[in-house]
Copies of this chain bind each other. A is one copy, B any other.
Amino acid sequence: MSIDRIKQRIFRVIQPSDGYWPSRVFDICIMTLILASVFSVFAETFDLPAHVVSVIERFEVVASILFSVEYVLRVWTSDLLFSDLSPWRARLHFVRSGMALVDLVAILPFWLPMLLPGHLLGLRAIRLVRLLRVLKLNRYMEAMAAIGEVFAKRSRELVASCLFIFLLMLLSSLLMYHAEHATQPDVFRNAFSGLWWAVATLTTVGYGDIYPVTAIGRFLGAIIALLGIGMVAIPTGILSSGFIEHFSHSDKPAPPARCPHCGKEL
């Protein structure tokens, strides 16, 4: 069997299943592996007996190697996916696609442990995203693409409102620090404490670990909290207008190409 035949067979197997039974089996195996891998990422955070931990760790090594092999095979066969491009351009095109990047991020924490501090191991949970491809959730992918398009189309306004929020946060944090530091030196220790307070207030999370107690601080806090309503309202309004425009474009049929009363083409 020539290398080309093998490649085509592998390609057909690793593509989302279209009734071809080895492809279905492959999909189910990958899905199980993904779910088990995400489960193990969560399980690792519990106090487990040493022998369970060692089992999880060995499974993690096997899963990461299998995902890596799958990634290499997908890159190798991607020239069959984009047959109108030259092989290397096809592979570059594939590697830069959204799903391939997710695949890469999902295996990187295994291959680059020295690059990533412990709290980035959580990135392995991104493997969950990969389920989307296997599940052929194309309709949800379309909906996600729609959300992405709305963000892209309104990106300038969203970035502008983020800049505004960012500036408001910096100003709030400094004003609040100067208003409260003297009274609560242990709570508002420095401008970063003020920044943490500003984030909690402007996002309306309000954990309650840090809040103003002086009259001037509460007055400032009240104004900033009320401005926080705007922080939610502005992006919501921008996104609403984006979604309305998006759906009014996609739902309506093309305008009639003929004059409505004489039938002439316009």
Contact = CB atoms under 8 A, between A and B. Distances in A.
B222 A170 contact: no
A214 to B, nearest CB: 10
Contact of A207 (B120, B160, B165, B211): B211
Interface residues of A, number: 99
Interface stretch (A20-28, A72-80, A255-263): A255-263
Interface stretch (A9-17, A85-93, A172-180): A172-180
B243 A237 contact: yes
Interface stretch (A29-37, A53-61, A62-70, A138-146): A138-146
Nearest to A251: B245
The A contact surface, by secondary structure, is helix
Given A163-B140, A175-B119, A225 B205 contact: yes
Nearest to A210: B207
16 contacts: A47-B190, A122-B174, A125-B170, A192-B215, A200-B205, A203-B226, A203-B229, A204-B206, A205-B205, A207-B211, A232-B233, A236-B239, A244-B244, A245-B247, A260-B266, A261-B264
Interface of A: 38, 41-42, 45-47, 118-126, 128-129, 132, 139-144, 146-147, 150, 156-157, 159-161, 163-165, 167, 170-171, 173-179, 181, 190-192, 194-196, 199-201, 203-209, 211, 215-216, 218, 220-222, 225-226, 228-248, 251, 259-262, 264, 266
